[in-house]
Amino acid sequence: MRACGWLALGLVAACATTAPGAGDPNPAPRISEATVAAAQELRRMQDQWRQALSARDTAFFRRVLAEEFLLTGDARTQTKTDFLLELASSGGTVPSARPEETNVRLFGNIAVITGLVRYDIPANPTPVQARFTEVWVKRAGQWFSVHGHYNLLSSVQRPEP
């Protein structure tokens, strides 16, 4: 499976949204209950995403990828159909992911998730890193992924023991 495809797994969401108080020149951040609930739902979905990718569970991705889903991050793009075909036909295991620096921003029924993820690959002495941006849209009460962009970064050196 090409790197762009499997990098979409398991990106745990954290929420950081502010709503200023009326007339307060230095408002304290407030997070609404709806925002917290949406971030928790996205967090659960990202956990499920990671498990489904590892299991190559195409049924899960058929449910959560919007029909207009587009995956970018290298010279080509993948549609929902392209991604599902590659996931089903690829062999081997998907490396475990450690999400870092993850942020979820909510704009009504749209969520933008950004961050850094590290992958520990058994044959590689150093983890592989990727920066990502994902766009999710809530339709009829369900979140759908409409876009994912993943940039591989250079491998990171592990500290000496």
Task: State pLDDT tens for residues 12-66.
Answer: 222 333 334 455 566 656 778 888 899 989 878 887 887 788 788 999 999 999 9
pTM of the model: 0.75
User: Which residues, including other chains, have CB under 8 Å from residue 9's CB and lie 6 or more apart?
Assistant: 49, 50, 53, 54, 94, 97
Task: With respect to residue 53, please indicate whether it lies within any of the assigned structural domains.
Answer: yes
In 12-151, which residue ranges form alpha helices assigned H by DSSP? 33-55, 58-64, 80-89
Q: Does residue 160 form part of some domain?
A: no
Task: With respect to residue 159, please indicate whether it lies within any of the assigned structural domains.
Answer: no
pLDDT at 140: 95
Q: Which domain holds residue 101?
A: 3-16+34-152
Domain assignment present for 63: yes
Mean pLDDT of the chain: 78
Q: Is residue 79 part of a domain?
A: yes
Does 24 reside within a domain?
no
> What is the average per-residue pLDDT within 119-131?
82
Q: Tell me the CATH number at 100.
A: 3.10.450.50
Task: Show the tokens assigned to 131.
Answer: 């920066």
**pLDDT above 70: residue 5:** no
As for how many domains the chain has, the answer is 1
* Position 66 in a domain: yes
Q: Is residue 136 part of a domain?
A: yes
